[in-house]
Amino acid sequence: MTTTPTAGRLEIVLFHHVQGLTPGVQALAGTLRAAGHIVHTPDLFDGQTFASIEDGFAAVQAKGGVEQWADAAVADLPNDIVYAGISLGVMSAQRLAQTRPGARAAVLLEAFVPPTEFGNGWPEGVPVQVHGTEHDPFFGEEGDIDAARQVADEVAVAELFVYPGDVHLFTDASLPSYDAAATALVMERVLTLLDRVRAV
């Protein structure tokens, strides 16, 4: 059944990273809920989490990918929602923000792919924030940051925020890679974006 967001709130779907729906991902969702938003946290692994990125990728491969799971996760949600993702979860969040009509905004943490991967470019009028560390081996060193810079330069409603550091999954408080100060700044900026979006 399709739900309707409560007045003054945004409805958000947050896709977890490759190590699963960890307590750190749940904490981010909790911060968004504390700001008054409705947050959905679909779980690809049905409660299982993984100690390493490598173990998580092996589990994803065993599942046969994430597209069908992500589509099913939003099938009963309204179209006018915010798509958010962390690392692996960005692939689902970005694809849906670009291809499912009605997206309110996108929040993409620690990953980004050229928008042409999912269509002709970033959809007009859909605000997007991208966050990552400068020398993250996945974000900063594999081209994600360059693709995000190009979009931020070309799209008026796109923002890129780059943080010092060289770790991946710095926004997950349950992992050794966590950077509390940087994550606090990420969430401050994300909540500012969401305030702008719900004011429209």
The pTM is what?
Answer: 0.94
Q: What confidence score (pLDDT) does residue 116 get?
A: 94
68 near 90, Cβ under 8 Å?
A: no
Distance in angstroms (rounded) separating the CA atoms of residues 92 and 41 = 13
Cα–Cα separations (whole angstroms), residue 172 to 18, 62, 72, 90: 12, 24, 25, 15
pLDDT for the residue numbered 37: 97
Q: Give the 3-state secondary structure of residue 104.
A: coil
CB 141 within 8 A of CB 135: yes
197: three-class secondary structure by DSSP: helix
**Chain segment 62-111, per-residue pLDDT in tens:** 988 799 999 999 999 999 999 999 999 999 999 999 999 999 999 999 99
For the record, the structure tokens of 116 come out as: 């042409």
> Which domains are present in the chain?
11-199 (3.40.50.1820)
Which band of pLDDT confidence, cut at 50, 70 and 90, is reported for residue 200? confident
Judged against a pLDDT cut of 90, whether residue 163 lies above it is answered with yes
Q: Token pair for residue 100?
A: 């499912």
> Which pLDDT score is estimated for 120?
83
